[in-house]
């Protein structure tokens, strides 16, 4: 391959740019996964991750993609034919629903237009209608990576509480964890799903479940076949920092470092930084006059901004051109947004000047691709950031 000068801007909404400190932590000799030294590593990761999820309940770490943690949430708590409530908030919500179907669950998928989050009122209606409590789980995606829409998880919890419905609340935090405030215990979530390669700043390869006492109880009744994803053996081994099968040691070194970095910066600062950078991206988008996929300002995502192109323009062409001429990767339109929307990732180990470069790449790309837009998006973003930093 020919050398491309300068740093590549990996501005897809995950995997994100892995900071050198984490890459270097991973670049270390493997140790015996049954040694005391490993036990300390495992324990620090498991404990630290609880703080990131803001929970006192156990957290599970899988050597797998986050897709695996979706499956784990379901197979540990449910049984064949169980009914689950899902919401078509976007591509990943759909994929998770498909995982549920693949596993033999009966999925009640509330249709959506991919521009709004979970509608708590619809949740309330559905739950009210479910007199026999057939619904065993409500599956919500906290931050829908394909659309840049954040769902109001506490409102969903509120609907469950109001309806006095015993269904488990399952939340996908894959692209929100470590970037957008997520309060597992306070929000009353039963099973959360997370991954390493977004706000956690690691390469892909680790996934997480955060549990609740009710989820643990449900796991005793669940009869879906499972082995790799079984919480029981995991929890037993985890108590001393170990794992029931060979863990991905290298990535655990990285996870420990990532947790330390998030703690050094402080979670509130991490969330505020993401909020500031995201708003700057939206300021640019408004100036360009490109329509956001997300329609509801209270649901704007602080990790990714998905923008619709005017009719007749293809996001694939725009992204290819930007990759070729400006050495930046942007997120593609997924599912029904394919061809129509592109996505700017602004999460993880990210700062003002990286965002400036990113937005500059988009603005130059729009011009080079002939996409009609108002100039000055970068300028507007910089003015916003300058005010915020003053």
Least distance from its own copies to the Cβ atom of residue 350, Å: 5
Nearer to its own copies, 157 or 343 (CB): 343
Q: For residues 90 and 361, which CB has a smaller minimum distance to its own copies in the complex? A: 361
In Å, the largest CA–CA distance within the chain is 63
Q: Least distance from C-beta 21 to its own copies, angstroms?
A: 8
- Residue whose CB is less far from its own copies, 188 or 250: 250
In whole angstroms, the minimum distance from the beta carbon of 345 to its own copies comes to 10
Q: Which of 13, 9, 14, 18 is nearest to 329 (CA)?
A: 9
> Which tokens sit at 301?
């995502």
Element (H, E) at 69: helix 66-75
User: Least distance (Å) from its own copies to the CB of residue 118?
Assistant: 22
> Which CA distances in Å does 28 have to 10, 25, 47?
24, 6, 22
How far, CA to CA in Å, does 7 sit from each of 11, 17, 79, 358? Answer: 12, 11, 48, 12
Output the DSSP codes for 168-180. EEEEE-TTTTTTS
**In the complex, minimum distance from the CB of residue 261 to its own copies, in angstroms, rounded to a whole number:** 5
Torsion (CA) 60, 62, 68, 72 in degrees, nearest 10: -30
Q: How many CB atoms lie under 10 A from the CB of residue 88?
A: 18
Burial (CB count <10 Å: 0-12, 13-18, 19+), residue 13: buried
* Smaller CB separation from its own copies, 54 or 67: 67
Closer by beta carbon to its own copies, 163 or else 382: 382
Contact indicator for 173, 199 with CB cutoff of 8 Å: no
Which residues lie below 8 Å from residue 12, measured CB to CB, with a gap of 6+?
A: 329, 330, 331, 343, 345
Q: Which is nearer to its own copies, 11 or 152 (CB)?
A: 11
Considering the complex, what minimum distance in angstroms separates the CB of residue 179 from its own copies?
11
Residue 312, CA distances (Å) to 284, 339, 348, 370 in order:
22, 10, 33, 11
Q: Shortest Cβ distance from residue 283 to its own copies (Å)?
A: 13
Q: How far is the CB of 217 from its own copies (least distance, A)?
A: 20
Our CB check for its own copies shows the closer of 129 and 389 to be: 389
Q: Is the peptide bond prior to 15 cis by the omega test (within 30 degrees of 0)?
A: yes
CA distance 128 to 160: 9
Enter the tokens of residue 17: 């740019």
* Nearest residue (CB) to its own copies, 87 versus 271: 271
* Contact between residue 141 and residue 93 where contact means Cβ atoms under 8 Å apart: yes
Q: Which is nearer to its own copies, 161 or 263 (CB)?
A: 263
Return the closest-CA partner of residue 348 out of 206, 207, 203, 199.
199
CB of 82 to its own copies, least distance (A): 12
User: What is the C-alpha to C-alpha distance for residues 50 and 44, in angstroms, rounded to an integer?
Assistant: 10
With respect to its own copies, which residue has the nearer C-beta, 188 or 204?
204
Least spacing, CB of residue 128 vs its own copies, in Å:
30
Residues β-bridged to residue 170: 139, 191
Residue 200: name the closest of 5, 390, 15 by CA: 15
């Amino acid at each position: 391959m020919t050398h491309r000068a300068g740093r590549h801007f990996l501005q897809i909404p995950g995997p994100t740019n892995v900071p050198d400190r984490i890459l270097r932590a991973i670049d270390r000799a493997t140790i015996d996964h049954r040694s005391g030294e490993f036990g300390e590593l495992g324990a620090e990761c498991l404990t630290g991750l609880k703080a990131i999820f803001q929970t006192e309940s156990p957290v599970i770490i899988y050597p797998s993609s986050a897709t695996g943690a979706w499956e784990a949430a379901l197979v540990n708590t449910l049984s064949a034919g169980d009914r689950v409530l899902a919401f078509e908030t976007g591509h990943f919500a759909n994929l998770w629903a498909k995982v549920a179907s693949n596993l033999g669950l009966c999925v009640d998928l509330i249709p959506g237009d991919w521009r709004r989050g979970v509608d708590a009122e619809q949740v309330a209606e559905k739950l009210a209608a479910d007199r026999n409590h057939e619904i065993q789980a409500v599956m919500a995606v906290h931050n829908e990576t394909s659309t840049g829409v954040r769902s109001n998880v506490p409102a969903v919890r509120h609907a469950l509480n109001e309806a006095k419905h015993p269904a488990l609340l399952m939340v996908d935090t894959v692209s929100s964890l470590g970037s957008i405030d997520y309060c597992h215990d306070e929000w009353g979530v039963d099973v959360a799903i997370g991954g390493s390669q977004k706000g956690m700043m690691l390469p892909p390869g680790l996934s997480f479940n955060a549990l609740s006492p009710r989820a643990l109880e449900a796991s005793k009744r669940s009869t879906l076949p499972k082995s790799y994803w079984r919480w029981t053996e995991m929890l037993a081994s985890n108590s001393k920092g170990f794992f029931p099968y060979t863990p991905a040691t290298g990535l655990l070194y990285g996870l420990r470092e990532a947790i330390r970095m998030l703690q050094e910066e402080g979670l509130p600062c991490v969330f505020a930084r993401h909020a500031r950078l995201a708003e700057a991206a939206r300021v640019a988008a408004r100036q360009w006059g490109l329509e956001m996929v997300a329609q509801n300002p209270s649901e704007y995502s602080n990790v990714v901004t998905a923008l619709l192109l005017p009719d007749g323009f293809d996001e694939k062409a725009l992204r290819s051109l930007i990759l070729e001429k400006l050495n930046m990767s942007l997120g593609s339109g997924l599912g029904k947004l394919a061809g129509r929307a592109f996505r700017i990732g602004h999460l993880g180990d990210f700062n003002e000047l990286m965002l400036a470069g990113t937005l500059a790449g988009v603005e130059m790309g729009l011009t080079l691709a002939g996409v009609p837009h108002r100039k000055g998006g970068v300028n507007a973003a910089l003015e916003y950031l300058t005010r915020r930093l003053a």
